[in-house]
A = this chain, B = another copy of it.
């Protein structure tokens, strides 16, 4: 078997953890498998480097930032290869140049285009464990690029696809994907399997065990993923196209407190106003989520939407800059104490009444719904933040997701 194993920064944060990872990989190696290991930078090293850069130049170019950040994973892979060597197993570290890992030109948010697999295959054939830098690539200018936050997951999936790996294991600090966050819903149950689509909805809803783009890529290339813990040997959750189990109505409940609702009031009620508003926001890279447009009142209307907390200031500034020119709104209001609670499940799309059951559970728990949005396999409600845990628990109970 050819196995790709990815470990995040927490798993290689110090000497002890590096050796733990090394031993896990060596176990697979000694069982006769070919082993490729993808690593992130140690612990908080990426943040340390970003702080160094900020101190020198708060507006540093992404090209130079990527040049700086890529030292993080290179440090991890070199130390990991040394650890494996010291345990008597030949290992070789490789960075994005050595692989080579070709990406688009976009510094800071590049996408993988092509992976040269020749050297990796040679090293594997020579019975070495190959330890590869996650998160980084090189572009057509021979410059380093990075794949954005969580990019190491994507590196692992891309390598698994290019090498036609038999398994792609994503190690994390939880046991797998759960029916809800176990810190909120104590009886949450680990899922044995989940589909790519369900995982995508969960990831984008703040239950993010996996980086969204890695799941998209896994779906595209049919790479079966296993999400499992680097701390124990429990089996984890398999992410794949179709669940073998009877399709569950609802796979899980996701809660996301990292949400702010912004209301823009007194907008002129004429064509193109909403377009202009969201155009301005998009120009400033503000991702807008749940949108609600009020009915007209005295020739004006209100539009509210949600954004993640870190984008709230940018959103407000953007709107206020245009408040007296292209937008002509009377007021903006920010509601910080809101959260999103969602149910996700591939079975939902063929099953009526799921949303109703969710709303009923919330009503019984005394939770008021501020806004609703849905997709084929998801229902999301916006509620007051203080009710988040109660809501998640109530929905979890209503759908009998407990273990």
Q: Known: A15-B55, A97-B97. Contact between A85 and B68, CB under 8 A?
A: no
Q: Known: A18-B56, A56-B18, A83-B56. Contact between A93 and B78, CB under 8 A?
A: no
Contact between A78 and B68 (Cβ–Cβ < 8 Å)? yes
Residue of B nearest to A70 (CB): B74
The distance from the CB of A159 to the nearest CB of chain B, in whole angstroms, is: 18
Digitize A254-294: 1 where CB-to-B-CB distance is under 8 Å, 0 elsewhere: 00000000000000000000000000000000000000000
Contact between A81 and B97 (Cβ–Cβ < 8 Å)? no
Interface residue A318 (Cβ < 8 Å from any Cβ of B): no
CB-CB < 8 A to A57: which residues of B? 82-83, 85-86
Interface residue A386 (Cβ < 8 Å from any Cβ of B): no
The distance from the CB of A118 to the nearest CB of chain B, in whole angstroms, is: 11
Interface size class of A (residues with CB under 8 A): 35 or more
Which of A59-67, A345-353, A358-366, A393-401 contacts its partner?
A: A59-67
Q: Scan residues 362-402 of chain A and give those whose CB is less than 8 A from a CB of chain B.
A: none
CB-CB < 8 A to A125: which residues of B? none
Residue of B nearest to A98 (CB): B142
Docked Cα-Cα span, A53 to B79, in Å, equals 6
Docked Cα-Cα span, A82 to B64, in Å, equals 7
Contact between A85 and B98 (Cβ–Cβ < 8 Å)? no
Interface residue A215 (Cβ < 8 Å from any Cβ of B): no
Contact between A56 and B15 (Cβ–Cβ < 8 Å)? yes
Contact between A85 and B64 (Cβ–Cβ < 8 Å)? yes
Q: Mind listing 25 A-B residue pairs with CB under 8 Å? A: A52-B75, A52-B79, A56-B79, A56-B82, A56-B83, A57-B82, A57-B86, A59-B86, A61-B81, A61-B85, A63-B92, A64-B78, A64-B81, A65-B78, A67-B77, A67-B81, A68-B78, A68-B82, A71-B74, A71-B78, A74-B74, A97-B97, A97-B142, A98-B142, A98-B143
Most chain B beta-carbon contacts within 10 A, residue among A15, A77, A81, A119? A81
CB-CB < 8 A to A78: which residues of B? 53, 64-65, 67-68, 71
Digitize A38-55: 1 where CB-to-B-CB distance is under 8 Å, 0 elsewhere: 000000000001001101
Docked Cα-Cα span, A67 to B80, in Å, equals 11
The distance from the CB of A107 to the nearest CB of chain B, in whole angstroms, is: 12
Docked Cα-Cα span, A61 to B70, in Å, equals 22
Can you name 7 extra interface pairs (CB under 8 A) apart from A15-B55, A57-B83?
A52-B79, A53-B78, A59-B85, A60-B85, A64-B81, A68-B78, A98-B142
CB-CB < 8 A to A92: which residues of B? 63
Docked Cα-Cα span, A55 to B19, in Å, equals 12
CB-CB < 8 A to A70: which residues of B? 74
CB-CB < 8 A to A64: which residues of B? 78, 81-82, 85, 93
CB-CB < 8 A to A68: which residues of B? 74-75, 78-79, 82
